[in-house]
Structure 1
């Protein structure tokens, strides 16, 4: 797997400059129009991870390659990208329009964990196919971002954080009600948040010698200093899944990414994902996909 594209590389490769506040230590935010990146011979967007967060509103026919999924877009799409998951857009229309904003995790440091929101979680819903009215609503938020970032207001970057949260919550309200309206205890929320952070800290797998350390519910519970039953109850209450199911889903997602986008052999992938035997990995993969890792890799076309 290629190394994640850094925010410095984004500016150097696509904009040929480095903002003065990029390495200020307080985090970075910026907003762009997609039209600014149009050219006679545009470079294809690489399928890769980025080390920053990004929210994109893309108008036009395209395919979104996100983690192990390919999503067809006929008119417009909103996509939330995080540093753990690789993605790209494949153009079908000659010219795509829209907007995107990008920011580092440090930008939200004093506002809680940005990755705790479902739209930025690996098992959440990061891609939203939009109707015209919905796309217009998000376009208005982006226009407010441009107005704010170009203003002289001393607290404009705080105001921009509020607009990002506005976009997140507006998107989450588009999901089925049972996914976004459950109320949980503070204790369950905290345990779930710590668990997800611990899980995601093991990813992405970027080197063939990298290996995840925690694979079972009991191992996570021990690290979190809670009983495994308590951890299960907290996750059931907050995300309606068992600890084992969440771990398995994340390992399966990473397995598909590695099979699709690396030349590592199946044994190397199995070892990276913590399987002692390649056969155990193959059985796990086939149980969850109805395909062997080799057949899955041969069937993939990007």
Structure 2
């Protein structure tokens, strides 16, 4: 079915178009990352990137200094000091820094972090009004921004500590952060995204939707670069050049990267055997999957699974 909202663009128009989006690295969160991650921007400088959806993490970040452009879905915000943003797991987001420095904190929260004993806090996130792309950025007063900065600092200290009740302390600070932001309730005005960014968003959205391997009988139907371009009703050369210019990688490289990321996720997060993963990802057989994986990672799928499992066990033992 043709999408009349996205016009077919000829190469002549492409050749004359001026790009307005800087180079954005497409980043997926590590498949074996923790369920709660918090960082201070002083120790973890922000960089320009675009993150596809299906991250599974709720993301909250607070700015105390600097400026940048946050895009969530097709909603664009020019952020500055004393502002906080909320990103839902299902949204594609990007960040472009527009100042030399950016201060503040950010945290990533996986739904599994809460567990049965903290289900009520998870429900707060699910029902929170600002985890929507058109309401995602809140302007804070100085006093509110100070309180929220203190909440982040307290969560960071607890997360780095060894107290038995540190999770309870983190969740209390998180609830206070949500309350202060809700009291502020002053949404920043969103700006329209550029046409070129719109195509990047549409491509990544289609790419993500192509990888829905959730059950053993699921099957990915791999698409070619030309098929993605056809779905967007643009010339393949136009789409490929647009994506390469803004992300540094071709359509084919993005497709292979996403296939590799899904393979790693299934190896680490499921107990499926290698043949089941191979079938689910659309390979002709286990040998073809192993050849692809070894070429990309320099180890076999089974050894990658074993090494990652041992690494995760070591981290868990050091924490406990």
* TM-score, scaled relative to structure 1: 0.49
Q: Which structure ranks higher in relative contact order (CA pairs < 8 Å, sequence separation ≥ 6)?
A: 2
